[in-house]
């Protein structure tokens, strides 16, 4: 593992006690599943049932829907940031591609969560700014390492790559195979040519 990869500062504040942390994580897992299945129609009661906890336990961790959405949004992003650290150390191109694939699946989930969060927050809210900064801090070293190795075009920056990946993930009717095909086209265009 490379020592140049910065540690990603956790954005979420998980409970410290083991039982509370388990409940917190189960609630987030149930919320992730409920929001992906039902979208904005997912109820907090349904999420509590799915997590196997009472509604009071859910409210102790997340006092309202916005708090739960924010925690889930941050948790998803932290997974992407951790995957960048996990990718660092192997083949520079494969590490970058692996992380970009993880980013595509994150962005598909992120759009749904962000749309609901926009009901509560402005697009320039601190949560969005800190998440973007964490994403760039995690992915930047992978991109730079691939450029130094000569396998990635040197005329692209992470912001451009994220915008391309984001555009692919926003296509609402695209089948997973079609998204994968478009991602392959983008990756081919990003590869350095001799």
Does 180 fall in a domain?
yes
pLDDT digits (tens, 9 = 90+) for 75-98: 989 999 999 988 767 899 999 999
CATH number of the domain encompassing residue 34:
1.10.10.60
Please tell me whether residue 96 adopts helix, strand or coil conformation. Answer: helix
Nearest residue to 30 via CA among 43, 18, 21: 43
On whether both 94 and 49 belong to a single domain, the answer is: no
On whether both 101 and 162 belong to a single domain, the answer is: yes
CATH number of the domain encompassing residue 126:
1.10.357.10
Q: What is the DSSP letter of 9?
A: P
Structure token pair of residue 55: 């509604």
Q: Under a CB-based contact definition with an 8 Å cutoff, are residues 70 and 117 in contact?
A: yes
On whether both 51 and 133 belong to a single domain, the answer is: no
Phi, psi for residue 152 in degrees, rounded to 5: -125, 140
User: What does pLDDT average to over the chain?
Assistant: 86
On whether both 71 and 99 belong to a single domain, the answer is: yes
On whether both 53 and 84 belong to a single domain, the answer is: no
Does 28 fall in a domain?
yes
Q: How far apart are CA 145 and CA 44, in angstroms?
A: 43
Cα–Cα distance list, 38 to 50, 66, 112, 144 (Å)? 13, 17, 11, 39
Whole-angstrom distance between the N-terminal and C-terminal Cα of the chain?
A: 28
On whether both 21 and 83 belong to a single domain, the answer is: no
Nearest residue to 119 via CA among 62, 39, 54: 39
Full domain range(s) for residue 57:
15-63
Does 7 fall in a domain?
no
pTM for the model: 0.79
Cα–Cα distance list, 32 to 65, 68, 123, 169 (Å)? 13, 10, 22, 18
Is the pLDDT assigned to residue 173 strictly greater than 80?
no
Q: How far apart are CA 94 and CA 194, in angstroms?
A: 18
23 or 105: which leads in pLDDT: 23
Is the pLDDT assigned to residue 136 strictly greater than 70?
yes
pLDDT digits (tens, 9 = 90+) for 14-65: 667 888 899 999 999 999 888 878 877 889 999 999 999 999 999 999 999 9
Does 5 fall in a domain?
no
Nearest residue to 32 via CA among 66, 84, 72: 72
What confidence score (pLDDT) does residue 18 get?
87
Structural domain tally of the chain? 2
On whether both 124 and 177 belong to a single domain, the answer is: yes
On whether both 59 and 92 belong to a single domain, the answer is: no
185 or 106: which leads in pLDDT: 185
Q: Under a CB-based contact definition with an 8 Å cutoff, are residues 188 and 147 in contact?
A: no
On whether both 75 and 143 belong to a single domain, the answer is: yes
Q: Under a CB-based contact definition with an 8 Å cutoff, are residues 54 and 48 in contact?
A: yes
Structure token pair of residue 101: 């694939």
């Amino acid at each position: 593992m490379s020592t140049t990869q910065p540690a990603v500062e956790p954005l979420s504040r998980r409970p410290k006690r083991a039982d509370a942390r388990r409940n917190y994580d189960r609630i987030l897992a149930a919320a992730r599943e409920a929001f992906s299945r039902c979208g904005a129609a997912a109820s907090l009661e349904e999420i509590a049932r799915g997590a196997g906890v009472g509604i009071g336990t859910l409210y102790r961790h997340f006092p309202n829907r916005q708090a739960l959405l924010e925690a889930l949004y941050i948790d998803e992003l932290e997974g992407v940031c951790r995957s960048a650290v996990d990718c660092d150390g192997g083949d520079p191109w494969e590490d970058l591609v692996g992380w970009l694939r993880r980013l595509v699946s994150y962005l598909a989930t992120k759009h749904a969560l962000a749309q609901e969060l926009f009901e509560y927050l402005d697009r320039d809210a601190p949560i969005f700014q800190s998440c973007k900064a964490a994403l760039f801090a995690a992915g930047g070293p992978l991109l730079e390492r691939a450029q130094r190795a000569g396998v990635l075009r040197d005329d692209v920056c992470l912001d451009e790559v994220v915008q391309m990946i984001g555009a692919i993930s926003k296509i609402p009717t695209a089948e997973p195979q079609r998204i994968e095909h478009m991602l392959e086209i983008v990756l081919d265009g990003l590869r350095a040519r001799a």
